Amino acid sequence: MDEPAMDLLSLPDNFKLQIFKKLDWKSLKNLKLVCRDLYFLIEQNILSLDRPKAKFSNDDEYGNFLKNMDFTKIAMFYLYNVSERGSIWVRRELLSDERYSSICNVSAELPKGTSRFKSFHILILSNRKLILPYNGDLFRMQSLRRLGIFERNKPSLVIKKIIMDILIGNPMLEYENASTDTRKPLYIQITNHMFELGLLNPENRCDHKGFI
């Protein structure tokens, strides 16, 4: 006697996700088109499912991959320093709130001994659409080395620049020469830099609108 067929849609979400985790990215994309419920279930759990991966044998292949890439539309990126065990997460979301239209989370786990704080988190709320103002050039190996992402004692400087870029909407490399006093907490450095740029000057805010 044949066993009765199982309806995927009738399964609890936790069982569906166990099945989804065994599927490749192409199959997941096709499955999202089946119905609205599957689409939102996959989207809400996308970080735990299989996603496209790219591997490169040398810097040239990596550079060619980045060519013509537009990173302003991505919702999240993750930088990880393998040797120092440090990482930086940036996640961007849109909101349906009467006061704010978008939100950006910047989190970091700093390598041991590089800061008084092991972890860092900042939340940016804005009444304009926040973007990650980068193109493929920023993520080339020479640019990352220039920023010091692979060097010890440099993660806090990179975090500061990323936050400033999101707030102001300009590429990170334009702030490469920004002064950094490592004796001050990172949030004070960011506030001071914003003041130096005139963003916190009341004379520049006569219309009572926020700069973000």
Q: Using CA atoms, how far apart are residues 154 and 158, in angstroms rounded to an integer?
A: 7
Mean per-residue pLDDT for 136-160?
A: 66
CA distance 109 to 154: 13
Q: What percent of the chain has pLDDT over 90?
A: 0
Q: Which helix (H) or strand (E) holds 87?
A: strand 86-94
8-state DSSP, 6: P
State residue 115's pLDDT score.
53
Q: Is 87 exposed, middle or buried (0-12, 13-18, 19+ CB in 10 A)?
A: middle
The answer, yes or no, to whether residue 17 has pLDDT greater than 80, is: yes
Full-model pTM:
0.51
pLDDT of 205 above 80: no
| pLDDT per position as a tens digit, 30-66 | 888 888 888 888 888 877 787 767 777 777 877 777 7
The number of beta carbons lying within 10 Å of the beta carbon of residue 45 is 14
